[in-house]
Amino acid sequence: MDRKTLIAVALCVVVLIGYPFILKLFGLDHYLKPAPPPQVAIVDTTRIGAGTTERGYAATGETTRTDPARAGQAPTADREASFSALPLRPLRAELTRSYRIETPLYHAEFTSRGARLLSVELLHYASAHGASSHDGKAFRPRKGEPVPPPDRVVLGGGPSFSLDLGSGSARIPLDDLVYAAEESLDAAGHVRRLTFTAEDSSGMRIRQTWRVRPDTYALDLEVEIHRVPLHWRLADYSLITRSWSLFNEADLAADAQGLHATSLVGTNIHREKVGGLRKGTKRFEGSAVWAAVQTRYFMGAVAAVQATAHATEARTTLRPLTPEQRALLPANAPAEQDMVVSALVVGLPGETSPVNRFLVYFGPNEYFRVATLGVQLERIVDLGWSWISPFSRVLLRLLVWLEGLVRNYGVAILVLATLVRVLLHPLNMMSLKSMRSMQRLQPEMVRLKEKYKNDAQAMNTAVMALYKEHKVNPAGGCLPMLLQMPLFFALYSVLFNAIELRQAPFVTWIHDLSAPDKLFEVAGFPIRLLPILMAGSGFLTQKLTPTDPRQASTMYLMNAVMVVFFYNLPSGLVLYWTVMNLLTALQQWLALREDGHAPAPATVEVGGPAPGGPKAGGGRKVARKAATK
């Protein structure tokens, strides 16, 4: 290597090493900073509220924006469209406009910015914290009349529903893309079809067409996507549903506990609670049927009708609360509320068939209403385990039918409890008789255990001989109860989750069978009468139940435990349990009357007389002796 080459190499090395220092010397060191990553890969623009950040996504200096669904929701700062963050370049600028769909069941608010569904206002469901409510008691209009606007339940997720390109960390929000909109009206002037269209300078076109079903809470949605540029490397898009502010129920804590991101993938249903989603986004791959957000009584869902949905995603975000909302919570409650987000991930359609069809539902969790939609959305209603749900469906239909006859769900629960007890009467009587027979044999059982305490085999033989002599089945008391367990679990699921009981009144102080009853408060502690009545009925039942005297104190203690367990459960469930206790006490009283004429029990000696008798040992012998009761 000659001298010139060595000098050139040395100069290159000096320049490479000293390059940062040279730039810094001339004030050009900002070129050394790495370029920020694309905003679309790290920001979730859900427009929850000013200053809101989402778990799992990096926070940026951007302000956020929400189109308020109505007055009283969290106010948010408007944000200018930032198309530099989007790959889309619209052909023409559009003004943001609002659109409203009205049916006899709901009012839905849309915006052309992002073609988003902002909120759904339910005309026949009242919020427990509406303008006319008092102490959690909702305004109750006459049957069939709509609830006044300030008192209605509003499912507004800010927005409630939207479409984004891509999925997961590659999702591209379209919240700032303003669509051109076209309405189609019926003869009465009501919107029956709403079409949003956005076209890109590259030739890509997105069209969303909403069609109204006036007699249901469901909307038909057609998504048409043409000519997505290949260099975007997109294979799918996401249909996203978001939960609403949890201030619709009297029991705010129970409403928050019922918040889930739920999805059906294949035949498996996934119910993700907020606590689990705080740890990170959940994704379920497979043949997705629907994705939804739900509380105990309401849901927002999107179901694939004609589309290839290959996954669902669920995550949680935070929503800031207004001062009015914070006033409903304890003083130490956080200033933000959890919101769940559920997405249905759909493969991009081909150019030969660019239209995908979906069903969007925002409304009550009415099992039989939702079942008529034909997309398995009724499975979102929790009616117990798969082997319990058939019993639950029958009982729910019976409860609704009884309410149609007696016009009150509290009375319907009384009738249902009576019918169930009558249906199970033979099994219950069999169980009670077996328990009474076992109780009469207790003295002899104690004698046998004492006699054969050192010979387990001889004791078992003697006990079985005793059962055989008196024709007592030791499983006779438990088997009938086991056969009734599916029915009891089904009743619990129905009475705990049925929206039909929501805000259903019964007697003076019970104005909502879906919430705990309350007579008054003492130093902020609610005094509830139904759990006390339930404990009294349980005590009466226990007094009439055949029980080993040594276990009586334990059984009485169980009544106190049941009061604690049932104290904050819905009054409809406590009412049912109270009635069942009273009917059980009646059955036991009838069994005792029948036992009053039964033959006296007998004692049995197995394997010879007791120690010290005239004949000790010497084989096994079964003898009877009369005994008085």
Boundaries of every domain in the chain: 94-381, 401-595
Q: Is 344 exposed, middle or buried (0-12, 13-18, 19+ CB in 10 A)?
A: buried
From CA 162, how far away is CA 248, in angstroms rounded?
A: 23
Whole-angstrom CA distances from 174 to 52, 342, 434, 459, 490 are 18, 17, 69, 79, 44
97 sits in the region (left: phi over 0; alpha: psi -120 to 50; else beta) called beta
DSSP for 422-461?
A: HHTHHHHHHHHHHHHHHHHTHHHHHHHHHHTTT-HHHHHH
H-helix segments, 498-551: 529-544
Give the C-alpha separation, 549 to 544, whole Å. 12
Strands (E), 542-620: 603-606
Q: Determine the pLDDT at residue 444.
A: 83
Q: Is 377 exposed, middle or buried (0-12, 13-18, 19+ CB in 10 A)?
A: buried
Angle between helices 571-595 and 552-566 (to 10 degrees): 160
The secondary element (H helix, E strand) that includes residue 291 is strand 288-294
Of 598, 591, 559, which Cα lies nearest the Cα of 480?
Answer: 591
Burial 395-421 (b: 16+ CB within 10 A, else e): bbebbbebbeeeebbbebbbbbbeebb
**What single letter denotes the amino acid at residue 296?**
R
Question: Rounded to whole angstroms, what are the CA distances from 526 to 245, 477, 479, 533, 568?
Answer: 25, 38, 39, 15, 10
- The length of the chain in residues reads 629
3.20.20.80, 2.70.98.90, 1.20.58.220, 1.10.540.10: CATH of 94-381:
2.70.98.90
Pairing status of strand 236-242 against strand 336-347 = antiparallel
- The C-alpha atoms of residue 14 and residue 19 are separated, in whole angstroms, by 8
Q: Which residues pair with 380 in a beta bridge?
A: none
Full 3-state SS string of 558-571: HHHHHHHHHCCCCH
> Shortest CA distance to 436 belongs to which of 599, 253, 230, 287?
599
Q: Which amino acid is at 161?
A: F
What per-residue confidence (pLDDT) applies to 334? 87
Burial 247-272 (b: 16+ CB within 10 A, else e): bbbbbbebbeebbbbbbbbeeebbeb
pLDDT at 21: 57
- Rounded to an integer, what distance in angstroms lies between the CA atom of residue 162 and that of residue 239? 6
How does strand 298-306 pair with strand 355-364?
Answer: antiparallel
Query: In the block, which residue shows the tokens 């009550």?
Result: 364
Cβ-contact 361, 281 below 8 angstroms: no
Supply φ then ψ for residue 27, to 5 degrees: 75, 25
Q: List b or e across 603-614, with b for residues whose CB sees 16 or more CB atoms inside 10 angstroms.
A: bbbbbbeeeeee
pLDDT at residue 162, as a whole number: 96
Stretches where the chain sits below pLDDT 70 are 1-93, 135, 475-481, 546-552, 595-629
In eight-state DSSP terms, residue 378 is G
Query: CB–CB of 63/176 below 8 Å?
Result: no
Which tokens belong to 627?
């005994």
Q: For residue 242, list its beta bridge partners.
A: 341
CA dist., res. 559 & res. 577, Å (int): 12
